[in-house]
Amino acid sequence: MPKSPETIDLLLTRRSAKALTMVEPGPGEEDLRTILRAGARVPDHGKLAPWRFILFRGEARRHFGEVLARIHAKVEPRATNEQIEFEAGRLTRAPVVVAVVSRLTPGIKIPEWEQLLSAGAVCQNMLIAATALGFGAQWLTEWYAFDADVNRALDLGENEKIAGYLYFGSESVAKDERPRPELSEITSEWRARES
C-alpha cells in the first residue's frame, strides 16, 4: 500500500495561525476553490451535504464588520468606541474569511449529531487544505457565530447555524507550538468483562 509521509507530516505538525497576525496575500480563486472542494469531501452519511459556505472577501469583509459593530453596540450598550471599532474590523483580520454553515435536516434517519459532525469535519478539512497550500488558517467561533441578529443578517435558515468562521491568509509571524495531550492519558482499550 502506498504511503504518503508528507500528508502524515502535515497532520502531525498542523497548527492554527492567529487571524490577528495574517496578512496578504490570501488564497486566490484557484486555491480557494481547492480549499472549498477539500471541505466538501468529508464523510456525509446520506449524501445530504449538511453544510454550505459564505465567502467574505475584499470590501465585503468591511461591510459585514459594520453589521457586527452595529449589533455589538446594541447588545453591549456600554461598549467603548475602541470595542466597536474592533468589532467592525473583525473580518478584515485576514484576507479571506469563510463562514461554514451547518444545515440540519431534522426528522430523517440520519442522526442530527452525524450531520453536525460532518460540518465540523468540513472545517478541519479546509484548515488542512489551506495549510497544505502554504496559508495560515484559523477556525473561530466567537460571539458573532451564535448571535441571532448576526445570523439573520446572513439569511440563515431555521435549521442552520454557524459551525465556524475560517480565516485564511499568509502568516506574518512564526507559529508557536502548544502542549498536546499525552496519548496515554486520552486512550483506553476496551476489554470484555468477565461474568
**pLDDT tens, position by position, 74-108:** 999 999 999 999 999 999 999 999 999 999 999 99
Return the number of other C-beta atoms located less than 10 Å from residue 6's C-beta. Answer: 9
Beta-bridge partners for 101: 52, 162
Residue 2 in this model has a pLDDT that exceeds 80? no
pLDDT at 4: 82
Cell for 70? 452595529
Cell for 39? 471541505
Question: Do the domain assignments include residue 161?
Answer: yes
Cell for 48? 445530504
Question: Do the domain assignments include residue 185?
Answer: no
pLDDT above 70: percentage of residues in the chain: 100
Question: Do the domain assignments include residue 11?
Answer: no
The pTM (predicted TM-score) of the whole model is 0.93
E strands in the chain: 22-23, 51-57, 96-103, 136-140, 160-171
Question: Do the domain assignments include residue 66?
Answer: no
pLDDT tens-digit series, residues 10-23 = 998 888 999 999 99
Cα separation, 69 vs 149, in Å, equals: 12
Question: Do the domain assignments include residue 80?
Answer: no
pLDDT class of 176 with cuts at 50, 70, 90: confident
pLDDT at 177: 82
Averaged pLDDT for residues 28-38: 98
pLDDT class of 163 with cuts at 50, 70, 90: very high
CATH code of the domain in which 146 resides: 3.40.109.10
Question: Do the domain assignments include residue 139?
Answer: yes
Q: Which helix (H) or strand (E) holds 17?
A: none
Averaged pLDDT for residues 126-143: 96
Q: Which amino acid is at 67?
A: V
Question: Do the domain assignments include residue 153?
Answer: yes
Q: Which helix (H) or strand (E) holds 90?
A: none
Q: Which amino acid is at 85?
A: E
Task: List the one residue out of 125, 121, 150, 154 whose CA is nearest residue 137.
Answer: 125
Structural domain harbouring 109: 16-57+93-172
- The count of structural domains within the chain is 1
95 in Cβ contact with 57 (< 8 Å): yes
How open is the CA angle 13-15-141, to the nearest 5 degrees?
150
